[in-house]
Amino acid sequence: MKDELLVGVQLFPFTYLHEGVEQTLKRLREWSAVNAIMLVSANRGESKYAFGKRWDSGHENVLGPYKAKGGFYSNPHLDLYDGTALKPVKCPEEGLSDIDSLDVTIDAARPLGLKVYAMIFEALYANQPEALYKNTAIALAQDVLGRPAMQGCYNNPHYRNFLLAMTEDHIRNYDIEGIYIEFEGWGMQSPSYFLGLPNKGMPICFCDHCMDAARKRGWDGDRARKGFLELIERRGAPDGMPDDGAFVESLRIMLHYPEVLAWESLWMQTRQRMFLEIYGTAKAIDPDKKVGWNVNSPVQTMPVARAAYDYGTAHNYSDWVKPNVHNAFAAGMFDQSVHRIHHGLLPDTPRETVMDLLLNVFGYEPPFEAEPFARERFGTKTRFGPQFVEHETLRIRRKVQGRVPVYVGLDVEPPVSKDASDSLRGMEASVNAALNAGAEGIIMGQFYHDWPRESLEAVGRAIRARA
Ligand SMILES: [Zn+2]
């Protein structure tokens, strides 16, 4: 018999304040055929209702823009955090500060037959200051100029031990199906942003722990730093193009300072080791609990991220993977990728040529003009359609070779309407594209509160039509 499809949804506890626990879970089961709740239990805030009353039909109590404070929505067990100076902070928000949102979810979900995952959503920068743990500075990565960056360093023992304690805390203390982990960081501060990753800061990490880790591999951190600074300086040069063209000039710097590429590898190896440690820790405490991973959008849409992350080894630390294959969001990330490669490596090549090149590299159809829905929701002028979902699902399934289930992450799409062109692009078509390509399930992102009722119901229709 075929295994049941997993139909998951990512959910912030603040939804309960606005819609009630039982009602939220019942709606998800009834409207969307959801059978697994991924509850954000730690450690992130700042998600918000983007459009206030726009989603009245599904979220009638929403009054307008709202910002979550972050911190722990579960109750942290402080004795587990002795190995680190970082201590978890309970979410200070009224209505959530005095409850354990994970326990509340488990109690309400069990009678409904819903599985519950604790979603560990680690993103320092997204916690509001009152929900951010003390001693943050002790764990921060350091950028190429020597400044602390708003990102934990995986080579820092305080941060590493904090992440492992957070893993143990949720695995040991809750009757859950498992943990589901999302680390943000791709595209924000990973080192080789000049190869196509968007950057809000400078390349990381040049802290003492990373410099030591590089030294052990025979890599000279000071040369990496010099190489990055030359690339940054070259990119910002106002005086026209070098004689050999910008691309050759950048290659020249990288050939002279191969440590620049080694630094990307160091960052990814360190992150990968963290994945392995979290998995091993969880399994050592309770081998029956599952460990699933979010695979961030840049791995689908940015060449360096795709090269650095290997789905083929994901089974070493995962019971399942959830690639983000968000049509509209991915088109925005792709657009950033085009922009960064154009800006960073190929400024003397027309932007359209860079875009054609990347479409060919990935084998994607060109994105099309976004409907007002996607434009407003994601701030992107273009989006991909179900063809993108199918393409990526097939590719990723080939990479994992059946060793772990693939639960495709789908973002909210316009619901199917009577308009024929919509029916080719809408929510049901994306669900079908993922499942026809062999996905073992889907996970609705980014969060339940983003979804209008019509799109939630479209997911339910598509799932039930396959039963
Ligand atoms: Zn570091």
Q: How far is the CA of 394 from the centre of ligand 1 (A)?
A: 36
Q: How many domains does the chain have?
A: 1
Residue 192 lies in a domain: yes
141 alpha carbon – ligand 1 mean position (Å): 5
Window from 87-101, 336-350, 421-435 with minimum mean pLDDT: 421-435
* DSSP 8-state assignment for residue 370: P
Q: Ligand 1 centre and the CA of 328: distance in Å?
A: 33
User: Out of 137-146, 163-172, 243-252, 365-374, which region has the weakest mean confidence (pLDDT)?
Assistant: 365-374
Distance of alpha carbon 217 from alpha carbon 207, whole angstroms:
16
Residue 247 lies in a domain: no
- pLDDT tens figures, 339-379: 888 887 888 899 999 999 999 999 999 998 887 766 776 66
The pLDDT, as a whole number, for residue 63 is 52
Q: Measure 210 CA to ligand 1 centroid, in angstroms.
A: 4
> How far apart, in whole angstroms, are the C-alpha atoms of residue 220 and residue 226?
10
Does the residue 212 lie in any domain? no
pLDDT at 453 (0 to 100)? 82
Instruction: Examine the pLDDT at 253 and tell me if it is beyond 60.
Output: yes
pLDDT at 66: 67
CA distance 148 to 142: 4
Please give the distance, rounded to the nearest whole angstrom, from the Cα atom of residue 334 to the centre of ligand 1: 28
Taking the alpha carbons at both ends of the chain, their separation in whole angstroms is 13
Question: Which residues touch 134 (CB under 8 Å, ≥6 apart)?
Answer: 86, 87, 89
Confidence of residue 250 (pLDDT cuts 50, 70, 90): confident
* 91 domain-assigned: yes
Q: The domain containing residue 191 runs over which residues?
A: 6-202+266-464
What CATH number is associated with residue 23? 3.20.20.80
Has residue 384 been placed in a domain? Answer: yes
Q: Please state, in angstroms and rounded to a whole number, the distance separating the CA atoms of residues 302 and 341.
A: 9
Give every CB contact of residue 43 below 8 A, 6+ residues apart in sequence. Answer: 70, 71, 72, 88, 120, 121, 122, 123, 127, 166
| Residue among 81, 184, 182, 75 at smallest CA distance from 125 | 184
420 vs 74: CA distance, rounded Å: 45
Q: Of the segments 47-61, 237-251, 316-330, 449-463, which one has the largest average pLDDT value? A: 316-330
Residue 186 lies in a domain: yes
Distance 306 CA to ligand 1 centre (A): 22
The rounded Å distance from CA 155 to ligand 1 centre is 5
Distance 262 CA to ligand 1 centre (A): 14
To which residue do tokens 């709202």 refer? 66
Q: Is residue 239 part of a domain?
A: no
Q: Is the pLDDT of residue 191 over 90?
A: no
- Is residue 168 in some structural domain? yes
Quote the ligand 1 centre to 140 CA distance (angstroms).
8
